[in-house]
Amino acid sequence: MLKQIGMTVLTGLVITSSATSTEAAKKPAKGLLDPERIVNVAHRGASGYAPEHTMVAYAMGHKKLKADYIEIDLQMTKDGHLIAMHDETVDRTTNGTGAVKDKTLAQIKRLDAGSWFNQAYPAYARASYRGLQVPTLNEIFDRYGKQANYYIETKSPDVYPGMEKKLLDTLKRYGLSSDRVKPGQVMIQSFSQESLLKVKRLDRNVPLVQLLEAGDVNALTARRVKDIKTYAVGVGPSFKALTKTNAALIRKNDLLLHPYTVNEKKDMHRMLDYGVTGVFTNFADRFNEVRQQHTSR
């Protein structure tokens, strides 16, 4: 009799455990815009290990380091092509000189966008980085399509009139417009509120993030945060100016919080303790480790 009761109890436990496992398996994954999900944004690709904004850096961040997003800074050439580059000039990250706006795409394509990295970061230098080209936005989308998530910044939009429409037209052409992708698969960010509002007028559904320099973060008020919430889903502040207080102000208003550029593990831990919902980092592998440690607490 006791043996039968024991078997019944054991069977009940197995059934309960099985049901619990099934329920867990059915639990939906958190979406990219879910504030409970902490996202890992590969800043300019895996730019700690490879030349920033090159196809090699994007591939490393996306495939090898398993970042949630490829981050792309946009500039526009003299003949109207959107390219991936952080600076308005080609001087720092290529062997050329001069403003992007004064060069055609053909001229940009002749530049070496990799050798500078080998000189600046010899510990990570590779012979294969020599001669890498500056990619266009089209080339990035040709490579990854809907298989990646994109965090795209309109850089210096006042220098490039019409950049916002060109970006949205390109997204539409590749089936990446807001009505064709999962929420958050394409994010658009800018330091320029005017640029974000232009995007909003052209596509009211694309998720926007307001970038903030350190001084703006230090001066952040409840009124400013509420203003940002009228057009954006999140804030991207300089992590150096982020505190528990201003982080709480941002999160209290249900805005995503993605500080930049967080490269050291101690800073990553601190940002997570502040309640951020993701970070921009040059070392996506480091943040994956820290994120795992944080969620395992």
Catalytic residue ranges: 43, 86
| Token pair 């040059």 in the structure block, residue | 282
Cβ pair 137, 71 in contact under 8 A: no
- What whole-number distance in Å separates Cα of residue 174 and Cα of residue 146? 9
* Pure H helices in 66-184: 105-109, 115-120, 137-144, 163-173
- What whole-number distance in Å separates Cα of residue 245 and Cα of residue 221? 11
Write the CB contacts of 203 (distance below 8 Å, at least 6 apart in sequence): 168, 177, 178
3-class SS letters over 205-221 = CCCEEEEECHHHHHCCC
Pick from 183, 165, 249: nearest CA to 34: 183
- What whole-number distance in Å separates Cα of residue 1 and Cα of residue 11? 15
Cβ pair 278, 258 in contact under 8 A: yes
Bridge partner list, 188:
152, 208
